[in-house]
Amino acid sequence: MSEGIVVRKCIALEEFQSCVQLQREVWGESDLEVEPVTGFVVAARTGGQVLGAFDGDRLVGYTLALVGFHDRAVYLHSHHTGVHQDYRDRGVGRMLKLFQREEALGREIRSIQWTFDPLELRNAHF
């Protein structure tokens, strides 16, 4: 199913650039709508998450989460999760979300929120 896929934190500029490129492929948005590399860098450096699913050296999925604070509690807002079309329906999105959960719990972050397009119901679960 998702054999050979490894999920880990993205830390290098080249990995953030790969996230931006995959974002463009997944959503086909114009440059004005694309989260820029700097957004990924800021999220990674300020308590958010940039997680990647890799098939060897190839980024095949990612999750971008921003840190938030509400009612005296830190939480994550999962802003994007994207999976390359060739890797969909193979459990990659679920792997990303489970890793996201474990990484957050490891930092004692107990809540992750996200929104989804109700017209894309498959994005409501992994």
* SS3 annotation, 27-72: HCCCCCCCCCHHHHHHHHHCCCEEEEEEECCEEEEEEEEEEEEECC
Closest Cα partner for 68 from 97, 104, 17, 28?
104
Mean pLDDT for the stretch of residues 71-97: 95
Asked whether 23 and 50 are in contact (CB, 8 A), the reply is: no
CB contact at 8 A, 112 and 65: yes
Residue 32 has pLDDT above 70, yes or no: yes
What is the pLDDT at residue 123? 64
pLDDT at 60: 98
CA distances (Å), origin 123, targets 4, 20, 30, 70, 114:
23, 19, 21, 25, 10
Judged against a pLDDT cut of 60, whether residue 82 lies above it is answered with yes
Percentage of the chain beyond pLDDT 70 is 93
- Select the more confidently predicted residue: 33 or 95: 95
Long-range contacts of 66-69 (CB under 8 A, 24+ apart): 67/43, 68/113
Would you state the pLDDT for residue 121?
Answer: 63
Percentage of the chain surpassing pLDDT 90? 81
pLDDT tens-digit series, residues 61-71: 999 999 999 99
In angstroms, how far apart are the furthest CA atoms of the chain? 41
Residue 106 pLDDT > 70? yes
The answer to whether residue 12 scores a pLDDT higher than 90 is yes
Average of per-residue pLDDT across 24-40? 90
